[in-house]
């Protein structure tokens, strides 16, 4: 009895689609790349519900002729290569002929397109990979593709989607990258029927960079240029005094294709080593032009990774160019790596030794998740009755952060940061929106110009900001005005605070609390920023206030990230430790 069967086309395309179409943002990426490949200079993207409901991409590219429309949706149908070797010659983003069929296999696609040499257009509807209607239609030259019912027929995939907000952020990320690398293209974005972004074509990539990176770009970035053999590096990196709280502002493009390359990122970080604080991160937008035959783009289904023929050389070029830009040395680095050769060699060695062998941190995340909840349990009070912190006598502080207390019941150690963080978090979470006394108004409101993506994030969380006492208002374009700070945070610099808040709130899965209620994430980040830090001096009265506040709140045992705020050793436990029982 034979049990092995050849899978049906429908099934194989659904399986293959998984590689290319992981989430709405992957659809946006593939459609935009097709438009660019078609020579478009005008792109319009419309997202509904973060791209989860529908995605429309319109372009003024060369269009598809009626005869080709149906074929474009067949697997491995492409107009871009004819022979395998062409892969190493083509400039186009696509060549695998997989995107359209993969998208159509997991959604409903409506395409309206007209080839520039044809006088009429074609409209086709494809669902679950099968064509259901095709007709002639009058329309301008170019292509408009509407994708809806995404993952409707693959419920498992649908379940894997994150919140609409997160998916939208991912879509805007993709759009930002493409906009950065194609200054000559006019890009418009609409979200839920409203205009969100309009970036006119420019010749000048500096102009485009500031449009995308926000006004902070000017003044805080310096140009980088380097040439080595047939490779050319250009772009901008942040000044050493302008750092970010996380490392996601590293944009790297190889032949205008956005890629993620751990080696290049490592080279960037190495250039900043010792000149910025260890926990801060640089930002960079780098464009690497290298001969097509020196890079293999056919190693990743979504082409997010590439393989370089000579990665060591590239590492050197990136490190050297940035290092000399930062050192203020000459505009153009043109040489075989020499000056920093030793440093480069050493860095590469270290990279090879320390780079994670496996990608992804699935296992490590799992184990951390597994551990956290049990942490606060260790040495938890054996007695069921609630600990009253204010009943303890304060003795002093160890290591700048642990407050030591005693009472007849035992010894108490309190982490001043974690405890204060929890107190602030509970306050932000529970207070009435905009009630008086929550905010400290600024004498002069401060304006901050944001990237479109960050602006979208802020707009979405205005209510929560206000509730916590952070009054932020739209100020035209993607600029916001900060009018008031939460009273508890009035000592912080408003702009730096908002910037950090935006960045950290976007870091996913960072906070346990997120799983309880995603909107609390904002409060958790605010609390973390505002809480007293290790080594912050603390007066006796402040210690007393801290204890009183802790007594008044629920969940006092952990900070919002799930770390313990205190450890208590009861007399019984002490007796056990000393084997007196």
Per CB under 5 A, residues contacting Mg ion are 34, 94, 99
Residue 381: name its binding partner from ligand ADP, Mg ion, none (Cβ under 5 to 8 Å by kind). Answer: none
Choose which of 64, 172, 259, 267 interacts with ligand ADP (CB under 6 A): 64
Residue 16 belongs to what H/E stretch?
helix 9-20
* CA angle, residues 407, 412, 415, in degrees to nearest 5: 145
Q: Which 3 state secondary structure label does DSSP give 83? A: coil
By beta-carbon proximity to Mg ion, the closer residue of 63 and 94 is 94
Choose which of 13, 26, 34, 169 interacts with ligand ADP (CB under 6 A): 34
By beta-carbon proximity to ligand ADP, the closer residue of 95 and 389 is 95
The nearest distance, CB 252 to Mg ion, in angstroms, is 21
Beta bridge partners of residue 449, listed in sequence order: 479
DSSP sequence for 169-227: HHHHHHHHHHHHH-TTSEEEEEETTEEEEEE---S-HHHHHHHHH-TTHHHHEEEEEEE
List the structure tokens of 423.
């107190």
Say how many residues touch ligand ADP, by CB under 6 A.
Answer: 23
Asked whether position 121 contacts ligand ADP by CB under 6 A, the answer is no
Reported in sequence order, the residue ranges of 60-115 that DSSP labels E, i.e. its strands, are 108-114
Q: Check residue 564 and report its DSSP letter.
A: B
Binding string, residues 142-181; x marks residues near ligand ADP by CB under 6 A: -x--------------------------------------
Residue 80: name its binding partner from ligand ADP, Mg ion, none (Cβ under 5 to 8 Å by kind). Answer: ligand ADP
Question: Contact at 8 Å (CB) between 447 and 454?
Answer: no
Question: Contact at 8 Å (CB) between 457 and 439?
Answer: no
**549-563 in b/e burial notation, b at 16+ Cβ within 10 A?**
bbeeeeebbbbbbbb
Among the listed ranges 91-99, 298-306, 398-406, 515-523, the one in contact with ligand ADP (CB under 6 A) is: 91-99
Residue 413 belongs to what H/E stretch?
strand 410-415
Choose which of 24, 50, 51, 97 interacts with ligand ADP (CB under 6 A): 97
Choose which of 24, 50, 51, 63 interacts with ligand ADP (CB under 6 A): 63
The nearest distance, CB 31 to Mg ion, in angstroms, is 8
Asked whether position 99 contacts ligand ADP by CB under 6 A, the answer is yes
Asked whether position 72 contacts ligand ADP by CB under 6 A, the answer is yes
Beta bridge partners of residue 295, listed in sequence order: 308
Asked whether position 59 contacts ligand ADP by CB under 6 A, the answer is yes
Residue 38: name its binding partner from ligand ADP, Mg ion, none (Cβ under 5 to 8 Å by kind). Answer: ligand ADP
Asked whether position 234 contacts ligand ADP by CB under 6 A, the answer is no
Question: Contact at 8 Å (CB) between 306 and 261?
Answer: yes
Beta bridge partners of residue 296, listed in sequence order: 307
Beta bridge partners of residue 221, listed in sequence order: 238
Asked whether position 66 contacts ligand ADP by CB under 6 A, the answer is no
Contacts with ligand ADP by CB under 6 A lie at 30, 34-35, 37-38, 59, 61-64, 72, 77-80, 94-100, 143
């Amino acid at each position: 009895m034979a049990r092995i069967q050849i899978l049906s086309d429908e099934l194989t395309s659904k399986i293959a689609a998984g590689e290319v179409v992981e989430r709405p943002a992957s659809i946006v990426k593939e459609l935009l790349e097709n438009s660019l490949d078609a020579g478009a200079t005008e792109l319009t993207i419309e997202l509904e519900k973060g791209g989860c409901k529908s995605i429309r991409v319109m372009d003024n590219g060369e269009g598809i002729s009626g005869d080709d429309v149906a074929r474009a949706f067949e697997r491995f149908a492409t107009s871009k290569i004819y022979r395998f070797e062409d892969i190493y010659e083509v400039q186009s983003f696509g060549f695998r002929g997989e995107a359209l069929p993969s998208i159509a296999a997991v959604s409903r696609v409506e395409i309206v397109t007209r080839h520039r040499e044809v006088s009429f257009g074609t409209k086709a509807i494809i669902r679950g990979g099968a064509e259901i209607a095709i007709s002639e239609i009058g329309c301008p030259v170019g292509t408009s593709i509407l994708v809806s019912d995404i993952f409707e027929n693959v419920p498992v995939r649908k379940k894997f989607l994150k919140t609409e907000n997160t998916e939208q952020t991912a879509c805007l990320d993709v759009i930002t990258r493409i906009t950065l690398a194609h200054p000559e293209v006019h890009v418009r974005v609409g979200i839920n029927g409203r205009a969100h972004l309009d970036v006119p074509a420019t010749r000048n990539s500096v102009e485009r960079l500031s449009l995308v990176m926000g006004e902070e770009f000017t003044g805080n970035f310096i140009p980088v240029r380097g040439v080595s053999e047939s490779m050319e590096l250009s772009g901008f990196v942040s000044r050493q005094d302008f750092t970010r709280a996380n490392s996601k502002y590293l944009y790297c493009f190889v032949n205008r294709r956005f890629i993620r390359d751990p080696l290049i990122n490592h080279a960037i970080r190495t250039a900043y080593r010792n000149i910025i604080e260890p926990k801060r991160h640089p930002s960079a937008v780098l464009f690497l032009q290298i001969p097509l035959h020196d890079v293999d783009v056919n190693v990743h289904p979504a082409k997010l990774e590439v393989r370089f023929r000579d990665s060591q050389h590239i590492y050197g070029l990136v490190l050297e160019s940035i290092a000399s830009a930062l050192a203020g040395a000459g505009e153009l680095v043109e040489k075989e790596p020499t000056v920093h050769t030793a440093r480069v060699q050493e860095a590469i060695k270290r990279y090879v030794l320390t780079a994670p062998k496996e990608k992804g941190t699935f296992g490590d995340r799992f184990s951390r998740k597994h551990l956290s909840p049990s942490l606060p349990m260790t040495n938890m009070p054996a007695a069921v009755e609630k600990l009253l912190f204010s009943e303890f006598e304060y003795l002093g502080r160890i290591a700048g952060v642990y407050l030591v207390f005693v009472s007849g019941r035992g010894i108490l150690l309190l982490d001043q940061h974690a405890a204060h963080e929890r107190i602030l978090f509970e306050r932000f979470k529970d207070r009435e929106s905009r009630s008086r006394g929550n905010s400290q108004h600024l004498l002069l409101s401060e304006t901050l110009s944001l990237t479109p993506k960050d602006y979208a994030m802020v707009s979405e969380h205005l209510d929560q900001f206000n509730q916590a006492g952070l009054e932020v208002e739209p100020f035209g374009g993607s600029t916001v005005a900060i009018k008031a700070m939460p009273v508890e945070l009035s000592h912080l610099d408003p702009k730096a605070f908002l910037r950090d808040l935006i960045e950290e709130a976007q870091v996913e899965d960072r906070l346990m609390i997120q799983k309880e209620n995603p909107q609390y994430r904002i409060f958790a980040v605010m609390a973390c920023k505002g809480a007293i830090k290790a080594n912050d001096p603390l007066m006796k009265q402040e210690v007393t206030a801290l204890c009183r506040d802790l007594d008044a709140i629920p969940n006092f045992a952990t900070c919002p990230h799930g770390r313990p705020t205190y450890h208590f050793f009861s007399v019984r436990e002490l007796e056990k430790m000393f084997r007196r029982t």
